[in-house]
């Protein structure tokens, strides 16, 4: 029995450490900013109908994640089940939440899809194209929000322009490289070699060959994925629209939490709060810790402090539960259940 628990502990050590780190950050904010004292007061005036909408928005975000992924899966495998797509989507959220820079989500999704019967090439194309669509939509959505809410955030958030420009430029550069490589693999490869040689001579990049191999492998995956998916304009338009809805619904969680605290609705615009949440997501992407621990909490306090005032720490705690800890709990469950459920179905069909 002792050996059993010891082996289980070793296998789950990283998720345990991840959750522990994020809890330390949350407790730090609660204890150092008077958040505990405000919780009792908030509970007395809490409006449960708005809190229920926040929970529903969190659930709707997960369903949209599974449904968007399912459209890509059905495009390459017409007999694919929605339950399998939803489980794969939750698997990605789980491993993204417990790995630095969210690096574990996509490989584990491809691995799970392979166990469920989809070949690696098609699975890779599904995940690659969904990732590309999400990145494109996020950048365009952010640009739209920046153009409409720039004045407010420049006035109320220090260094806002610098953070936003860096985030948009890094994401835009990635998207431009992928799209260019998809159209002209040879031309992009020559440009990549040129810049890596230049950066090596400037002593910015120490190992240009290894860096080239990694970047080239990633771009090649998107190129192959585009060939497998084909040029289905309808698929890309529908999934892009669903991604817009998903980002919006997820960003409304903070607004519903605000209303559940019985704070004055007339003093804040839902569009402004959606914009703030999108910017929080962009800032958090730069944090190398699992789940953007520390960065997510800190950026939420910075961007939403103007709205919540003294209630900012309890609001951050509740937001983190709905957008992070729920993903870990449900994602871990579906990662195990979905893998067993649909892997068994495949074996039965072959028999």
| pLDDT tens digits for range 294-307 | 567 778 888 898 89
* The pair of three-digit structure tokens given for residue 97, joined into one six-digit string: 């939440």
CB 343 within 8 A of CB 113: no
Place of tokens 């090596």: 200
CB 129 within 8 A of CB 226: yes
Tell which residue, 349, 333, 258, has the closest CA to residue 90: 333
pLDDT of 34 over the 90 cut: no
pLDDT of 261 over the 50 cut: yes
CA distance 128 to 189: 19
Domain boundaries, the chain: 33-350
As a whole number, the mean pLDDT across the chain is 78
Which of 90-94, 200-204, 224-228, 240-244 shows the highest mean pLDDT?
240-244
Residue 6: pLDDT band with limits 50, 70, 90: low
CA distance 21 to 17: 6
Range with lowest mean pLDDT among 30-39, 214-223, 257-266: 30-39
The torsion angles phi and psi of 34, rounded to 5 degrees, stand at 70, 25
Structure confidence at residue 317 (pLDDT): 84
Average pLDDT value for residue range 8-18: 56
Average pLDDT value for residue range 188-198: 74
CB 324 within 8 A of CB 97: yes
Cβ-based neighbour number of residue 216 at 10 Å: 16
CB 174 within 8 A of CB 138: no
Structure confidence at residue 220 (pLDDT): 67
Tell which residue, 282, 295, 329, has the closest CA to residue 170: 282
Handedness of CA 293, 144, 271, 161 (dihedral sign): positive
Tell which residue, 279, 252, 247, 248, has the closest CA to residue 55: 252
Average pLDDT value for residue range 164-180: 69
First to last CA, the chain: 36
Residue 107: pLDDT band with limits 50, 70, 90: confident
Percent of all residues in the chain with a pLDDT value above 90, rounded to a whole number? 20
CB 93 within 8 A of CB 62: yes
CA distance 170 to 162: 12
Range with lowest mean pLDDT among 73-77, 131-135, 341-345: 341-345
* The pair of three-digit structure tokens given for residue 210, joined into one six-digit string: 């290894």
Residue 256: pLDDT band with limits 50, 70, 90: very high
pLDDT of 234 over the 70 cut: yes
Structure confidence at residue 281 (pLDDT): 81
pLDDT of 293 over the 80 cut: no
pLDDT of 180 over the 80 cut: no
Q: In this predicted model, which residue has the larger pLDDT, 257 or 161?
A: 257
Residue 348: pLDDT band with limits 50, 70, 90: very low
Torsion of CA 205, 209, 215, 216, to 10 degrees: 150
DSSP assignment of 190-225:
HHHHHHHHHHHHTTS-S-HHHHHHHHHHHHHHHHHH
CB 97 within 8 A of CB 18: yes
């Amino acid at each position: 029995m002792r050996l059993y628990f010891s082996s289980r502990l070793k296998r789950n050590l990283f998720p345990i450490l991840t959750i522990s780190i994020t809890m330390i950050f949350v407790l730090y904010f609660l204890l150092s900013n008077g958040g505990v004292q405000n919780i009792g007061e908030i509970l007395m005036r809490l409006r449960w109908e708005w809190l229920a909408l926040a929970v529903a928005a969190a659930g709707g975000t997960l369903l949209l994640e599974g449904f968007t992924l399912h459209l890509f899966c059905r495009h390459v495998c017409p007999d694919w089940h929605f339950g399998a797509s939803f489980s794969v989507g939750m698997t990605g959220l789980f491993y993204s939440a417990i790995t630095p820079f969210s690096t574990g989500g996509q490989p584990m999704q491809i691995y799970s899809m392979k166990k469920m019967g989809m070949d690696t090439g098609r699975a890779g194309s599904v995940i690659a194209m969904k990732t590309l669509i999400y990145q494109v939509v996020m950048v365009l959505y952010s640009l739209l929000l920046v153009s409409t809410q720039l004045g407010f955030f420049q006035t109320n958030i220090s260094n806002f322009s610098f953070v936003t420009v860096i985030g948009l430029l890094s994401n835009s550069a990635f998207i431009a490289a992928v799209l260019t490589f998809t159209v002209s693999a040879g031309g992009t490869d020559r440009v990549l070699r040129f810049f890596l040689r230049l950066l090596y001579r400037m002593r910015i990049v120490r190992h240009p060959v290894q860096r080239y191999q990694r970047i080239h492998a990633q771009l090649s995956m998107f190129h192959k994925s585009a060939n497998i998916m084909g040029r289905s304009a309808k698929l890309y338009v529908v999934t892009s629209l669903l991604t817009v809805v998903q980002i919006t619904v997820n960003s409304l969680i903070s607004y519903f939490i605000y209303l559940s605290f019985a704070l004055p609705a007339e003093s804040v615009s839902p569009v402004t709060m959606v914009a703030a949440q999108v910017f929080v997501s962009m800032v958090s992407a730069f944090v190398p810790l699992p789940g953007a621990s520390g960065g997510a909490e800190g950026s939420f306090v910075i961007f939403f402090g103007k709205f919540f005032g003294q209630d900012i720490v309890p609001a951050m705690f509740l937001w983190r539960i709905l957008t992070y800890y729920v993903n870990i709990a449900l994602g871990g469950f579906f990662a195990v259940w979905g893998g067993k459920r649909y892997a068994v179905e495949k074996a039965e069909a072959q028999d």
